[in-house]
């Protein structure tokens, strides 16, 4: 059987971590097996669906590097790929289910249904629809119609049946049909429900494996009943585990940003996020945690998807992202850094080529201290400000050293006379400061560092001084002399 898998988001909000992981697992499975990956839109929740969310989801997928072979925007043999544009398909099949006795009109009101649910719960039973409208006579129906009650269409769930799901992740899972209750497949506005439309689409689009979040496991027996009623072959299923926060409660906003767009906006790199998402519930085994998309694709199997919940660990994401930031070309990082630096007031709007070349030097140093690009604004003040601010206690202490004055004066004379500040020339000048002052080690480095950066720790002086430039370096030494 050739592999055909799909991601079928409901466009009711931005693409979340969980959705992105479902999309990625499907994509990986398709790519690993040389199969096809489809993306289609489940927008039957008309009130909550929007084109804006749809665009957000598709943009986020593309940003992550997830492409699709068929579906929304790219087209394919089963167009259209938005459920609200396929309503005729569902309506026709709904009629067929009525004709074969698998579905029936139900006129129960909200109040009646609520009363039924309550009564069942009071008896300690599962709240479900008990089939009041299962066998209405044509006269009963006519009465309801005359009263202007629009019916919903319910699926007639067979009694005393065990529904078995063979799931790649969860193994064999069984459900009793008696616990299900006749469920709605067409709403009173003649729009299909998720459980019905998803089956029709998966069948029409020849989906071989349904890979989706565990929260849909309880929907699966309903879907299986529909496949059986229509005499269709069922796909295989794989329900991937929930994502929990570090405190083991369901992942939510409390645990950090939940949408892909938020991570993009904070300056995370897609290759880091994809690496991280892949490890949310999947592992190739072994200690290694850093994988390119290409490597994951080669190793990905559904059998290695874990049964227990995945834990969303933001520290791990930050660690991975920091790793990728240190690997990325400086030019690319600089482009990402510019909007943050502009926003923080460090950078002007229009940047000359020269300024960008200088910025690349700043980014090359600062990237060693950050987990995501937005953090760069906290590590660049020494390159932009005319003067430094000394806030640390340790640094204030260094300012009182008796060696301060001679180091400042010697360094100032040497730097002022220098033609050009390069790593090499700065190294040589710092050596010369030592020779001329008769001081060594920290008694040279600490005063210089505090005067030029305001801090006692940080990148090598010979790396940062050429980037800070001669004018600012001299000004800071002068300020320290005063
Ligand atoms: N629209 C559903 C969701 O976003 C898709 C479920 C499925 O993959 O069957 O959760």
**Residue ranges of domains in the chain:** 86-240, 329-384, 386-481
Which one of 1.10.8.70, 3.40.50.410, 3.20.20.210, 3.10.450.40 gives the CATH number of domain 329-384? 1.10.8.70
Rounded-to-10 torsion of CA 46, 52, 53, 58: 120
pLDDT at 417 > cutoff 80: yes
The string of pLDDT tens digits covering residues 450-476 is 999 999 999 999 999 999 999 999 999
Cα separation, 128 vs 119, in Å, equals: 10
pLDDT at 9: 98
The string of pLDDT tens digits covering residues 161-195 is 999 999 999 999 999 999 999 999 999 999 999 99
Distance from the alpha carbon of residue 325 to the mean position of ligand 1, in angstroms: 33
* 42 C-beta closer than 6 A to ligand 1: yes
**Is the sign of the CA dihedral 20, 23, 25, 30 positive or negative?**
negative
pLDDT at 251: 83
Distance from the alpha carbon of residue 290 to the mean position of ligand 1, in angstroms: 29
pLDDT at 225: 98
pLDDT band at 6 (very low <50, low <70, confident <90, very high): very high
Which one of 1.10.8.100, 3.40.50.170, 3.90.420.10, 1.10.10.350 gives the CATH number of domain 386-481? 1.10.10.350
pLDDT at 252 > cutoff 90: no
CA distances from 75 to 22, 49, 79, 82, 194 (A): 21, 21, 6, 11, 22
* 323 C-beta closer than 6 A to ligand 1: no
pTM for the full predicted model: 0.93
pLDDT at 47: 96
Class for the domain spanning 86-240: alpha beta
Give the DSSP H or E segment for 320.
helix 314-327
Strand partners, 371: none
Helix, strand, coil percentages in the chain from 3-state DSSP, rounded to 5 = 50, 10, 35
Mean pLDDT taken over the chain = 95
Distance from the alpha carbon of residue 411 to the mean position of ligand 1, in angstroms: 66
What is the mean pLDDT of the segment spanning 349-367?
A: 97
pLDDT at 1 > cutoff 80: no
Query: Which atom of ligand 1 has the smallest separation from the CA of 202?
Result: 9
């Amino acid at each position: 059987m050739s592999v055909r898998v799909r991601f079928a988001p409901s466009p009711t909000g931005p693409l979340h971590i969980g959705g992105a992981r479902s999309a990625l697992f499907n994509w990986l499975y398709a790519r690993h097996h040389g199969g096809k990956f489809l993306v289609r839109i489940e927008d039957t929740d008309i009130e909550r669906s929007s084109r804006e969310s749809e665009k957000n989801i598709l943009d986020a997928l593309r940003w992550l590097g997830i492409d699709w072979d068929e579906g929304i925007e790219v087209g394919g043999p089963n167009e259209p790929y938005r459920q609200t544009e396929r309503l005729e398909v569902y309506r026709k099949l709904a009629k067929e289910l009525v004709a074969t006795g698998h579905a029936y009109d139900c006129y129960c009101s909200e109040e009646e249904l609520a009363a039924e649910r309550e009564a069942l719960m009071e008896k300690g039973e599962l709240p479900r629809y008990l089939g009041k409208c299962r066998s209405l006579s044509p006269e009963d129906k006519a009465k309801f119609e005359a009263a202007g009650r629009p019916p919903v269409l319910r699926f007639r769930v067979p009694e005393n049946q065990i529904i078995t799901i063979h799931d790649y992740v969860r193994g064999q899972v069984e459900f009793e049909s008696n616990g299900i209750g006749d469920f709605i497949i067409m709403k009173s506005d003649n729009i299909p429900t998720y459980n019905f439309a998803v089956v029709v689409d998966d069948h029409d689009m020849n989906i071989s494996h349904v890979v989706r979040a565990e929260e849909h496991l309880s929907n699966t027996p309903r879907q299986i009943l529909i496949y059986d009623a229509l005499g269709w072959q069922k796909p295989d299923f794989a329900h991937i585990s929930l994502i929990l926060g570090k405190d083991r409660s369901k992942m939510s906003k409390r645990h950090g940003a939940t949408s892909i767009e938020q991570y993009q906006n904070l300056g995370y790199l897609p290759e880091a996020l994809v690496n991280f998402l892949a490890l949310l519930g999947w592992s190739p085994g072994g200690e290694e945690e850093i994988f390119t998309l290409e490597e994951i694709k080669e190793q990905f199997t559904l059998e290695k998807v874990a049964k227990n919940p995945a834990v969303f660990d933001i520290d791990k994401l930050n660690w991975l992202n920091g790793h990728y930031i240190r690997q990325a070309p400086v030019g690319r990082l600089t482009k990402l850094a510019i909007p943050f630096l502009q926003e923080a007031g460090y950078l002007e709007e229009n940047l000359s080529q020269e300024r960008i070349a200088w910025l690349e030097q700043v980014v090359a140093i600062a990237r060693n201290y950050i987990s995501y690009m937005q953090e760069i604004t906290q590590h660049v003040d020494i390159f932009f400000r005319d003067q430094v601010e000394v806030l640390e206690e340790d640094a204030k202490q260094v300012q009182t050293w008796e060696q301060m004055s001679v180091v400042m004066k010697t360094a100032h004379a040497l730097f002022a006379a220098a033609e050009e500040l390069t790593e090499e020339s700065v190294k040589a000048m710092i050596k010369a400061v030592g020779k001329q002052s008769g001081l060594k080690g920290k008694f040279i480095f600490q005063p210089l560092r505090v005067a030029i950066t305001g801090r006692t720790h940080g990148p090598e002086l010979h790396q940062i001084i050429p980037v800070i430039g001669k004018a600012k370096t001299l000004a800071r030494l002068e300020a320290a002399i005063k």
